Amino acid sequence: MTDQTPVLELRAITKRFGPVVANDRVDFDLQAGEVHALLGENGAGKSTLMSVLYGLYSPTSGEILVDGEPVRIGSPGDAIAHGIGMVHQHFMFIPVMTVTENIVLGSEPVKRGSGAALGVLDRRASRRRVQELSDRYGLAVDPDARIEDVSVGMQQRVEILRALYRNARILVLDEPTAVLTAQEITELMAVLERLKADGTAIVFISHKLGEVLEIADRITVLRRGRSMGTVPRAGATEQSLARMVVGRDVIFRVHKDAAQPGRTILSVEDLHVRDDRDLEAVRGASLTVRAGEIVALAGVDGNGQSELVQAITGIREPTAGRIAVDGTEIAGRGVRAATAAGIAHIAEDRHRVGLVLPFTLAENLALRRYRQPPLSRHGWLNLKAIRELAVRLVEAFDVRGGGPDSPASALSGGNQQKLCVAREIDSDPKLLVAHQPTRGLDVGAIEFVHSSLIEQRDAGKAVLLVSLESEEVSALADRVLVIYGGRIVAEFPPDVSDEELGIAMTGGAAAAA
């Protein structure tokens, strides 16, 4: 890169939370018009570093320089004043307010004259400026829609617009692609190119190697709070980066033998399910999963996957259709019936559905089987048995960051997911439903989850995998089903090309068929 003064420089930033060192003397610099990626596993300290930069945390030691001048950033207000904008991983919006209100909040245009003293909002000017920015950068948003009513992709565009509205010269994007569809990711990359050409300096936080190699000019890798060095994109490969990220070689594709499918375990016939808004989300889906095979359900988010999974696992009552597990009819009979019939469920959202975060690891691990001996007898919990179970599973599934008595909330995302996987697999199911089981996980944890699923398959279980990531689908599936508009529209062998799959997922195959 050039020798000019970096717009932003972090020098030897250290951040401690009690005894935990989240950042250990991290150096980072950023030039105008470049994308500098910050790569690392979950818990490597990427978000902490950026929270220090944005004034959400104050650093234990270290220095921040903007345009070569040391600055003190004690609050997000200071960061904004220095031209730093943040696109948070978990969007920071007021859901009931409009897109425009969310963008202008904190530096709202007010009417002139007597209105200025009273601080009367100039709503027309707000709307106009949002529209102008939206047109200029090609970030399509609906200025009058409420945030809670717009898609995740649009919410992210609103976050970017909010930073631009505040004249951000430094834009930090924290895991921006984690929530986006493939199409939206392509659009985001185009927007970033445009911003870059405009001279905006961009920090791109990610744990996905592919997209980092696609967009970044330079890449800094963090591991356990320390910088492992900065490399230019030229010459970097997925393997070289992965080695820096985890400190060892990672197998990208889990080894897997040919499937030995047995009898049909799950059979779903002409299933209809309504969503929370009372609209029909699943419209006559039929599928089967046999013992000893992994069936992947691929599709763009919001095509009825969630409702289908909820119906199969007993969480949601279908309006019509049949669901049978190994011959037992379970449609509309609830979660207990589904569990009794042999279904285990790695939930899409481990925070809201998969775990009870304030409960201990032991309590969480007991949730699926607490009603049966030895975990309980005559309505009394056997705490000793529950603890023994926890000790065994924590050990077997290598859950790190806490013991049986720590709360689940204390674990990192990857370890929380291991906890879910451990509980579900240990219930010895006939059918394992894994809904986006690697969402938000780092490379090491993904590898673990993938090999667990294959182990289950080889042990003769039926596995239904719901995934939004085509890489995951092609790595694990023995058969690929495509869901679109609430129906199963296509079936492919595992070696289907991304292109063919993409067409089917966007409704192309349905039109052709």
- Name the site residues for other proteins (rule: CB under 8 A): 54, 56-57, 75-77, 80, 86, 88, 92-98, 101, 105-108, 110, 118-121, 144, 146, 149, 162, 278
Number of Cβ atoms within 10 Å of the Cβ of 117: 8
Smallest distance, Å, CB 54 to other proteins? 7
Q: Give 352: exposed, middle or buried? Use CB within 10 Å, 0-12, 13-18, 19+.
A: exposed
Report yes or no: 42 and 65 within 8 Å, Cβ to Cβ: no
Scanning the structure block, which residue is given the tokens 């309504």?
274
Smallest distance, Å, CB 109 to other proteins? 9
Residue 13 CA to residue 197 CA, distance in Å, equals 29
Residue 345 CA to residue 251 CA, distance in Å, equals 26
Residue number, 167 or 183, with CB nearest to other proteins? 167
Smallest distance, Å, CB 192 to other proteins? 21
Residue number, 278 or 495, with CB nearest to other proteins? 278
Smallest distance, Å, CB 88 to other proteins? 7
Sheet holding 69-71, edge to edge: 20-30, 8-17, 61-66, 69-71
The encoded tokens of residue 417 equal 């997911």
Smallest distance, Å, CB 447 to other proteins? 33
Smallest distance, Å, CB 107 to other proteins? 8
Residue number, 166 or 223, with CB nearest to other proteins? 166
Kind and range of the H or E run holding 466? strand 462-467
Smallest distance, Å, CB 135 to other proteins? 20
Q: Comparing C-alpha atoms, which of 513, 510, 506, 478 is closest to residue 493? A: 478
Residue 224 CA to residue 425 CA, distance in Å, equals 29
CA 240 to chain centre: 24
Query: Which residues have C-beta within 8 Å of that of residue 118, sequence separation ≥ 6?
Result: none
Residue number, 120 or 213, with CB nearest to other proteins? 120
Residue number, 90 or 255, with CB nearest to other proteins? 90
Q: Give 105: exposed, middle or buried? Use CB within 10 Å, 0-12, 13-18, 19+.
A: middle
Residue number, 96 or 459, with CB nearest to other proteins? 96
DSSP string of 371-436?
A: TSTTTEETTEE-HHHHHHHHHHHHHHTT--S--TTSBGGGS-HHHHHHHHHHHHHHT--SEEEEES
Smallest distance, Å, CB 26 to other proteins? 19
Question: Alpha-carbon dihedral of residues 315, 471, 456, 265, nearest 10 degrees?
Answer: 50
Smallest distance, Å, CB 280 to other proteins? 14
Residue number, 108 or 269, with CB nearest to other proteins? 108
Kind and range of the H or E run holding 309? helix 305-312
Q: Tell me whether the omega of the peptide bond preceding residue 95 falls within 30 degrees of 0, making it cis.
A: no
Residue number, 127 or 450, with CB nearest to other proteins? 127
Smallest distance, Å, CB 94 to other proteins? 5
Residue 363 CA to residue 257 CA, distance in Å, equals 36
Residue number, 115 or 229, with CB nearest to other proteins? 115
Residue number, 88 or 316, with CB nearest to other proteins? 88
Q: What is the largest CA-CA distance in the chain?
A: 79
Report yes or no: 13 and 70 within 8 Å, Cβ to Cβ: no
Query: Which residues have C-beta within 8 Å of that of residue 322, sequence separation ≥ 6?
Result: 267, 268, 269, 270, 271, 329, 331
The encoded tokens of residue 416 equal 């929380």
Residue number, 117 or 234, with CB nearest to other proteins? 117
Smallest distance, Å, CB 319 to other proteins? 14
Residue number, 111 or 233, with CB nearest to other proteins? 111
DSSP-derived letter for residue 240 is H
Smallest distance, Å, CB 73 to other proteins? 12
